[in-house]
Amino acid sequence: MSTSTINFSIKKALDSKINQVDWENLPFGKVFSDHMFLMEYSDGKWQEGEIIPFAPIPMHPAMSAVHYGQSIFEGLKAYRNKDGEITIFRPDMNAKRFVESAERMCMPPVPEEIFVEAIRKLVEIDANWVTDKEGYSLYIRPFLFATDEYVGIKPSDTYKFMVITSPVGAYYSEPVRIKIEEHYTRAAEGGVGRAKAAGNYGASLYPAKQCQLQGFHQLLWTDAREHKYVEESGTMNIMFQIGGKLITPSEDSDTILRGITKRSVIELVESWGMEVEERKVTVEEVVTAARNGTLEDAFGVGTAATIAQVAVIGYRDERLEVPAIETRTLSNKIKNHMDAIKTGEIEDTFGWNFKV
Ligand code: PLP
Ligand code: COI
């Protein structure tokens, strides 16, 4: 891919905030780097993008994204490898998914090469925010939202595409407890579940809060029609190891986010010769396996969550324990391998790391 033809205007921050960062107590997603990317869509086309000092943006009270939810986002990470170079994990995949989300939400897609170059340039400028501290990375948050100053309902004619970045450690600081949800739904067929639309997250906050009051971290969503099939968790896709096989819900429906971490884990595990089943996964088979001891492993997979091993699955009044973390040969191996690829400790034979 040639990026030489894409140019952005650049205005550097006068001072860096990096010395104020407390790396030992870094909350997820609350500390932001020195710069941000901004590009506006108006007059039927994308205008020149700019990298400017990180700062609040002015907002018209009638800004349509706030009223009607034309708003999508992405999440990806930059890493400092063992040779001191910075790499970004599979940004081309996020660029594609961002286009798909935009189309579903009736928004103008950001051309994939502009998406990738905006991120590359921003990370290059804020390179010193990419730490080599173990378990840490620079979380990159691209987002696109409607900016028409209008309270009538129609697709907006103007938009802002922005990218902000935030140094982060683990999203979950302990193995996760997830609860199978049989009443509320995240996504229905024909809806926007496959898109990374802001509203999907807003809609899931109330149900998630109910399970958090019961001591769980997140829900395990099931299909909207029958609550019979497992779909994904609130911040990650889900994988199970039952009877030696790796099993994960297929993405045939338009109700599941097509996770990049999940796709990468499948490619990795298949390269080890292990069988992976992407198919409908019933709640019953997971619950039965957990009860009779054939559920060997369960873990969430996502950019922020990374490989998040599941400790407990809540099902109605039951708390089903997944085997002890030390015994999880598969998820421990996947976790170590994925980390080692990102940090350059083992060769990136898949070509996943994009060099900044
Ligand atoms: N599902 C949901 C609802 C998510 O928010 C995420 C996070 O991005 C994922 C799955 C995992 O997707 P990815 O691996 O591309 O980050
Ligand atoms: C990500 O993993 O990038 C996500 O979007 C999850 C998030 C809600 C923090």
Nearest alpha carbon, ligand 2 atom 9 = 304
| Residue range 85-93: mean pLDDT, rounded | 98
Distance, CA of 313 to CA of 328 (rounded, Å):
16
Distance, CA of 138 to CA of 153 (rounded, Å):
37
Q: Please identify which residue in the block is written with the tokens 């019961």.
A: 214
Nearest alpha carbon, ligand 1 atom 10 = 236
Domain 176-342 has CATH 3.20.10.10: yes
Identify which of 131, 92, 29, 28 has the alpha carbon closest to the alpha carbon of residue 343.
131
Q: Where are the domains of the chain?
A: 9-169, 176-342
CB of 259 closer than 6 angstroms to any ligand 2 atom: no
Quick check: 3 pLDDT over 80? no
Nearest alpha carbon, ligand 2 atom 7 = 235
The per-residue pLDDT for 4 is 56
The rounded Å distance from CA 288 to ligand 2 centre is 30
Of all atoms in ligand 1, which is nearest to the CA of residue 264? 14
| Residue range 317-339: mean pLDDT, rounded | 95
Domains 9-169 and 176-342 share a fold: no
- Does the CA dihedral 65-68-70-76 come out positive or negative? positive
The per-residue pLDDT for 6 is 87
CATH topology of domain 9-169: D-amino Acid Aminotransferase; Chain A, domain 1 (3.30.470)
| Residue range 117-126: mean pLDDT, rounded | 98
Write the DSSP symbol of residue 325: G
- Does the CA dihedral 161-130-258-346 come out positive or negative? positive
The per-residue pLDDT for 272 is 96
- Summarize pLDDT for 162-215 with one digit per residue, the tens: 999 999 998 988 999 999 999 999 999 999 999 999 999 999 999 999 999 999
pTM metric for this prediction: 0.96
Nearest alpha carbon, ligand 1 atom 5 = 235
Of all atoms in ligand 1, which is nearest to the CA of residue 74? 8
Quick check: 258 pLDDT over 90? yes
The rounded Å distance from CA 236 to ligand 1 centre is 4
Distance, CA of 234 to CA of 219 (rounded, Å):
6
